[in-house]
């Protein structure tokens, strides 16, 4: 970020800029890990490496529980107000009933049993052919754990307003997902997805409030008709002990992606610890609030500054 001018000095003493960056990065990391598999501290300076281990588990719209393990790995380069990043993940998953998309994890399978009857009945007692009844992959349910590489994510963010003098920080964000994962194993949809958005944050002494609004461009697999969707997130962060510890809570979701199914909604809680000037450790928990998100999630990771 650019240095503040002298009139902002008093405000910076109430809420130092490096602490604002850490709170902003933590809240955005809580959102991005939950939705896009992007575990990066977006406001660390220079060149950084981030690694995150994530567990997500849920029965989604089916009766079979899907458990997924992710080992995210990513790099990010910051030059002034511009941040560029790339990341991917190794995935270990016990079923092929869930696919990873630009909107996060989405259940896809040939419905059966109670789940099929529940979702195939219309309010008037008839039936309808929901797009999700058509299998993206030929889901077979419980099976042996299968490992594979996830899709590749690229990010480009630009801070158009760096805050100061009690003014908000405004950052434009973009992301594209390239489909390199094996779609038949549930590691991806086989389609290119994208997102464009804006993040507005405002520091208040040792706390930070933030809103994230965006638009998702989702590629349509051969058997599923995705809607492009609006995404949103609202967060609050608080720092302690001079910014060494930070806590954040974030609520996020999208508008409806597939007709006949509830949109994804999730609540996330996160904490990070600055072990040194070049090392940040973080942990987060997430709770699904709809049938199209994991019931629970847990992440633990670290961000290392390679080049300040």
- Which secondary-structure segment (H or E) carries 277? none
Among 71, 149, 58, 152, which residue's Cα sits nearest to residue 97? 58
Which residue did the predictor score with more confidence, 18 or 198?
A: 198
Beta strand 207-217 pairing with 229-240? antiparallel
Q: Which of 22-31, 111-120, 251-260, 283-292 is predicted least confidently?
A: 111-120
Whole-number mean pLDDT of the chain? 79
Q: Which of 83-87, 90-94, 142-146 is predicted least confidently?
A: 142-146
Q: How far apart are CA 303 and CA 49, in angstroms?
A: 6
Using CA of residue 154, residue 177, residue 227, residue 232, what is the dihedral sign?
A: negative
pLDDT, average across residues 132-156 = 69
pLDDT, average across residues 116-122 = 39
Q: Number of helices (H) and strands (E), helices first, in the chain? A: 3, 15
Q: How far apart are CA 221 and CA 167, in angstroms?
A: 43
Which residue did the predictor score with more confidence, 252 or 185?
A: 252
Q: How far apart are CA 173 and CA 170, in angstroms?
A: 10
Beta strand 104-107 pairing with 66-79? unpaired
DSSP string, 215-274: EEE----TT--PPPEEEEEEEEEEEEGGGTEEEEEEEEEES-SSTTSPPPEEEEEEEEEE
Q: Which of 36-45, 47-56, 203-212, 259-268 is predicted least confidently?
A: 36-45
Domains of the chain: 6-307 (2.40.160.40)
Among 282, 283, 197, 258, which residue's Cα sits nearest to residue 233? 197
Max Cα-Cα span within the chain: 69
- Which secondary-structure segment (H or E) carries 280? strand 279-288
pLDDT at 63: 73
pLDDT band at 141 (very low <50, low <70, confident <90, very high): low
Burial (CB < 10 A; 0-12, 13-18, 19+), residue 124, is exposed
Q: How far apart are CA 184 and CA 182, in angstroms?
A: 6
The residues with which 284 forms a beta bridge, in sequence order, are 270, 299
């Amino acid at each position: 970020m650019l240095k503040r001018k002298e009139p902002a000095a008093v405000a910076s003493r109430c809420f130092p800029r490096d602490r604002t960056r850490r709170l902003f990065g933590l809240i955005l990391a809580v959102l991005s890990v939950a939705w896009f598999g992007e575990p990066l501290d977006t406001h660390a300076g220079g060149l950084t490496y981030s690694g995150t281990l994530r567990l997500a588990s849920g029965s989604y719209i089916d009766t079979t529980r899907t458990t997924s393990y992710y080992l995210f790995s990513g790099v990010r380069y910051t030059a002034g107000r511009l941040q560029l990043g790339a990341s991917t993940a190794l995935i270990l998953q016990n079923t092929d009933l869930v696919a990873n998309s630009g909107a996060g994890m989405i259940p896809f399978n040939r419905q059966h049993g109670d789940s099929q009857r529940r979702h195939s009945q219309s309010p008037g007692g008839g039936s309808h052919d929901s797009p999700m009844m058509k299998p993206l992959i030929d889901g077979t349910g419980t099976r042996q754990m299968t490992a594979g590489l996830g899709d590749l994510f690229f990010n480009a963010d630009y801070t158009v307003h760096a805050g100061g003098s009690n003014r908000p920080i405004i950052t434009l964000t973009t992301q594209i997902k390239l489909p390199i994962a094996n779609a038949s194993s549930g590691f991806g949809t086989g389609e290119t997805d994208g997102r464009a958005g804006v993040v507005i944050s405002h520091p208040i002494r040792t706390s930070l409030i933030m809103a994230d609004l965006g638009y998702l461009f989702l590629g349509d697999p051969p058997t599923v008709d995705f809607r492009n969707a609006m995404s949103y997130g609202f967060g609050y962060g608080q720092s302690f002990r001079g910014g060494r510890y930070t806590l954040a809570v974030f609520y996020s979701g999208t508008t409806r992606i597939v007709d006949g199914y509830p949109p994804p909604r999730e609540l996330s809680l996160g904490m990070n610890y600055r072990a040194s000037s070049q090392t940040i450790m973080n942990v987060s928990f997430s709770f699904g609030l709809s049938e199209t998100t994991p019931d629970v999630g847990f992440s633990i990771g670290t961000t290392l500054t390679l080049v300040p």
